[in-house]
């Protein structure tokens, strides 16, 4: 279900944030996570605004976007058009 994917990406985002804090950051891992977030959010109608050039400083902002979008889907304010 979509909620599992949203939750997994939020958890991964917090883990990436911790890695930055402890100087264990991997840009490739961030790129993969960013791509997964973009793909998931692109399956929503209306599609939430996604920053054009996010960088690691935007991880927490993107996690909050995922959380807000998941909440809006559950309230019926946004439709998830991907496979359930």
- Residue-level pLDDT at 82: 83
**Measured between alpha carbons, how far is 59 from 19 in angstroms, rounded to an integer?**
11
| Residue entry with tokens 């890695």 | 19
Tens of pLDDT along 10-27?
A: 999 999 999 998 999 899
Tens of pLDDT along 57-82?
A: 889 999 999 999 999 999 999 999 98
Pairing relation of β-strands 79-80 and 44-45? antiparallel
C-alpha dihedral, 3 to 8 to 35 to 69, nearest 10° = 40
CB atoms within 10 A of CB 36: 15
pTM, two decimals, is 0.90
């Amino acid at each position: 279900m979509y909620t599992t994917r949203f939750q997994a990406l939020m958890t991964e985002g917090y883990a990436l944030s911790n890695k930055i804090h402890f100087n264990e950051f991997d840009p490739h891992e961030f790129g993969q996570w960013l791509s997964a977030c973009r793909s998931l959010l692109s399956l929503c109608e209306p599609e939430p605004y996604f920053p054009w050039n996010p960088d690691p400083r935007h991880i927490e902002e993107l996690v909050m976007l995922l959380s807000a979008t998941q909440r809006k889907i559950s309230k019926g304010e946004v439709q998830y058009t991907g496979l359930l």
